[in-house]
Amino acid sequence: MAPPASTAIPDSSISTTPAPDPMTGSTPTTHIWKKFRLRLLKFTGSAVAIGGLVVAIKYGMTTDRLAKWTAIKDFREVCLNSLGVEHLWSRTYGLSAGLRTSTQYFIMDRNYDRLLVVGDLVVGGSWLRSVLEIPPDAYEIATSLDCERNAGKVRSKLHGLPFLVKDNIASADRLQTTAGSWALLGSVVPRDAFVVAKLREAGAILLGKATLSEWADMRSNNYSEGYSARGGQARSPYNFTVNPGGSSTGSAIAVSNNVVPFALGTETDGSVINPSMRNAIVGIKPTVGLTSRAGVIPESEHQDTVGVFGKTVADAVYVLDAIYGIDGRDNYTAAQAGKTPDGGYAQYMSKAQVLKGTSFGIPWASFWQYADQEQLDTLLTMLEVLKGAGATIVNGTELQHPEIVSPDGWNWDYGTVRGYLNESEYSYITVDFYNNIATYLSELSNTNIRSLEDLVQYNIDNVGSEGGTPGIHPAFGSGQDGFLASLATKGARNETYYQALAFCQRTSREEGIDYALRNGGKKVDALLLPPDVAQAVQIAAQAGYPIITIPASIHIDSGMPYGLAILGTAFSEATIVKYASAMEDLFVSSGSAFQRSKTKPTWSNYLDRNLPVPY
């Protein structure tokens, strides 16, 4: 069986033979592809973006002439700029490439199953499983937005662009919101999540729900990252047999592989930064309280935040500007009053020149020492490039108490491992989940699921699909022990709860990130971290502080990407956007090994369907 087509299209030819179905081995018949070609909205010539596959069409053209006609070589460079948003990785796409209408994303007869089959034979569906569901009315919405554009009304830079949201972000339409579980199938949400409503107001088109690690990794402690009962196992286009990152798995994969130009995910502890880094894209995890969680299936009110995935810092920041703001249904957002800039964060995007005279802290003992040697070689070289641009690198900007960091990797129950229940993140996360999920479920209609007890029982009653008992389902090795740990708390906010919360916030904030930034009175502008060292991402999560990851390179053996993260204090998004965009510009313009062309998907082990994927 031939491998799936790469997102990198050769200069001289494009394969006009569709990839074989990965499950059956059969190849779609020619008439399907003719139908696909002819049922697009009529136009004289265009590059059509569907499911990450570029198909250059000249109306009525036969497929044997397709390769000679197209001028687009790499769809990884045909992204968010398709309708006018500046994209830092390329200057020659978008309107000039022919993506002139939003409706060109959709098949004219609204045969959305065929859309997924054709596009995702190459970049999703049964291969990557990044998209869980798409709405039946997306074409009509796109048509309406095209009419607005033609009439001279452009709502924002995102007008007419399609996006996905993680399947724990509510949309009051014909899409489901289930956290990847069958338990909530058919339930009806009362309204759009605040962030979805904001993107609709900006003119963006909700193309569907992205797959995720079921219940955002809350239900189990021994699980297959990126798996959900409804969505199956999502896989990274870089290596099918390796953890693709989660829990916002499908959101990151879809952006990485060009299904959509941007997507939303959520993070409680690593769920935006980890999949971004593992799929060679930019991820922004904002300060808790910058983006509303109203309408989001919750875990912890103290750490949940809605984040953004994009190909570049610019892409992600335009989306962040569209979704942040104060929301009366999330009282945490009131904290941003007076702390956000007039005019948004895009105004802070910068070129490499601003790095001259800056200083960046390296918490070596706290985090960097845990990176593998291959990553260290690349990241230390990147630091030398930064120094060449005039930045000062300050080593040894440590947490006040580096012993709180688990030497064995991410572990949100590490306090208990050390013997202190009142120093464990898990001590308050489990309590928060019990209470927060009950509040969320109380607003749903058309469901009998009203509590965590109901969810636990559902998983037991449907053990074959939901793996409610350990050892039954390969994706849920420990069954639903995360749910059971939360259930055992009964939501009691007792002394241990408050002690654990205070300990984790203090040691990650004033005695952690802020302590490192102060650097003994010689303040640094931001901290630089290796995000593949999950402990570094965990500290940002516990603090509720903003962090951005940008692509760095890929591992030689596994082909999996890794990144460089920029971390700041609360509501310092303007600062880290400034420096992340400047670093991105520097690394690309320097002609170094960090250019995006060095991190294209390799589709390693694409025939393997292992489950679970190793963490």
At 6, is the pLDDT very low, low, confident or very high (cuts 50, 70, 90)? very low
How much of the chain, in percent, has pLDDT values that exceed 70?
78
User: What is the tally of structural domains in the chain?
Assistant: 3
Q: Tell me, what's the pLDDT at 304? A: 99
Cα–Cα nearest to 313, from 16, 587, 593: 587
Tally the residues of the chain.
615
Residue 71 lies in a domain: no
- Residue 463 scores a pLDDT above 80: yes
Residue 227 lies in a domain: yes
Which of 502, 535, 568 is where one domain is finished?
502
Residue 366 lies in a domain: yes
Omega within 30 of 0 (cis) for the link into 553: no
Q: What residue type is 451 in one-letter code?
A: S
Over residues 515-529, the mean pLDDT reads: 98
Is residue 206 domain-shared with residue 318, that is, in the same domain?
yes
- Residue 114 scores a pLDDT above 60: no
Q: Tell me, what's the pLDDT at 532? A: 94
Q: Tell me, what's the pLDDT at 410? A: 85
Residue 47 lies in a domain: no
At 604, is the pLDDT very low, low, confident or very high (cuts 50, 70, 90)? confident
Distance in angstroms (rounded) separating the CA atoms of residues 481 and 483: 5
In this structure, the number of other CB atoms found within 10 A of the CB of residue 346 comes to 18
Residue 46 lies in a domain: no
Alpha-carbon distances, residue 376 vs 355, 367, 387, 393, 552 (angstroms): 22, 11, 16, 15, 11
| CATH number of residue 291's parent domain | 3.90.1300.10
Omega within 30 of 0 (cis) for the link into 531: no
Is residue 304 domain-shared with residue 216, that is, in the same domain?
yes
At 92, is the pLDDT very low, low, confident or very high (cuts 50, 70, 90)? very low
Q: What residue type is 379 in one-letter code?
A: L
Asked if 271 is an active-site residue, the reply is yes
Tens digits of residue pLDDT in 145-170: 989 988 989 999 999 999 999 999 99
Is residue 519 domain-shared with residue 497, that is, in the same domain?
no
Residue 64 lies in a domain: no
Is residue 387 domain-shared with residue 475, that is, in the same domain?
no
Distance in angstroms (rounded) separating the CA atoms of residues 475 and 517: 40
Q: Of 166, 198, 209, 311, which is the active-site residue?
A: 166
Tens digits of residue pLDDT in 24-63: 333 333 332 233 222 222 222 222 333 333 332 222 323 2
Structure-token match 């960090």, residue found: 594
Distance in angstroms (rounded) separating the CA atoms of residues 246 and 226: 6
Q: What residue type is 288 in one-letter code?
A: V
Q: Tell me, what's the pLDDT at 83? A: 30
- Whether 565 and 273 have beta carbons less than 8 Å apart is answered as yes
Question: What token pair was written down for 443?
Answer: 């607003």
Residue 488 DSSP SS3: helix
Structure-token match 């709502």, residue found: 155
Mean pLDDT lowest for which of 309-318, 416-425, 579-588?
A: 416-425
Instruction: Please state the φ and ψ torsions of residue 427, each to the nearest 5 degrees.
Output: -65, -30
- Spell out a b/e string for 581-609, using b for 16 or more CB atoms within 10 Å of the CB, else e: bbbbbbbbeeebebebeebbbbbbbbeee
Over residues 306-323, the mean pLDDT reads: 97
Residue 87 lies in a domain: no
Is residue 428 domain-shared with residue 463, that is, in the same domain?
yes
Is residue 560 domain-shared with residue 521, that is, in the same domain?
yes
Q: What residue type is 94 in one-letter code?
A: G
Distance in angstroms (rounded) separating the CA atoms of residues 379 and 529: 9
Distance in angstroms (rounded) separating the CA atoms of residues 550 and 317: 13
Distance in angstroms (rounded) separating the CA atoms of residues 336 and 399: 25
Is residue 221 domain-shared with residue 333, that is, in the same domain?
yes
Asked if 427 is an active-site residue, the reply is no
Is residue 311 domain-shared with residue 174, that is, in the same domain?
yes
Is residue 356 domain-shared with residue 343, that is, in the same domain?
no
Distance in angstroms (rounded) separating the CA atoms of residues 572 and 286: 9
The better pLDDT of the pair 572, 11 is held by 572
Residue 202 lies in a domain: yes
Q: Tell me, what's the pLDDT at 259? A: 83
Which of 502, 532, 567 is where one domain is finished?
502
How much of the chain, in percent, has pLDDT values that exceed 90?
67
Q: Tell me, what's the pLDDT at 615? A: 62
Q: Tell me, what's the pLDDT at 121? A: 31
Is residue 319 domain-shared with residue 354, that is, in the same domain?
no
Q: Write out the residue range of the structural domain in which residue 232 sits.
A: 127-135+157-348
Which of 502, 529, 560 is where one domain is finished?
502
Q: What residue type is 12 in one-letter code?
A: S
Is residue 395 domain-shared with residue 425, that is, in the same domain?
no
Tens digits of residue pLDDT in 237-296: 899 999 999 999 999 999 998 888 999 999 999 999 999 999 999 999 999 999 999 999
| Average pLDDT value for the chain | 82
Question: What token pair was written down for 302?
Answer: 């103290």
Q: Of 181, 228, 251, 271, which is the active-site residue?
A: 271
Question: What token pair was written down for 410?
Answer: 């991410």
The better pLDDT of the pair 535, 112 is held by 535
At 536, is the pLDDT very low, low, confident or very high (cuts 50, 70, 90)? very high
- Whether 327 and 197 have beta carbons less than 8 Å apart is answered as no
- Spell out a b/e string for 281-303, using b for 16 or more CB atoms within 10 Å of the CB, else e: bbbbbbbbbbbbbbbbbbbbbbb
530 HSE (CA, 13 A, CB side)? 27
Is residue 458 domain-shared with residue 593, that is, in the same domain?
no
Q: Of 130, 220, 228, 247, which is the active-site residue?
A: 247
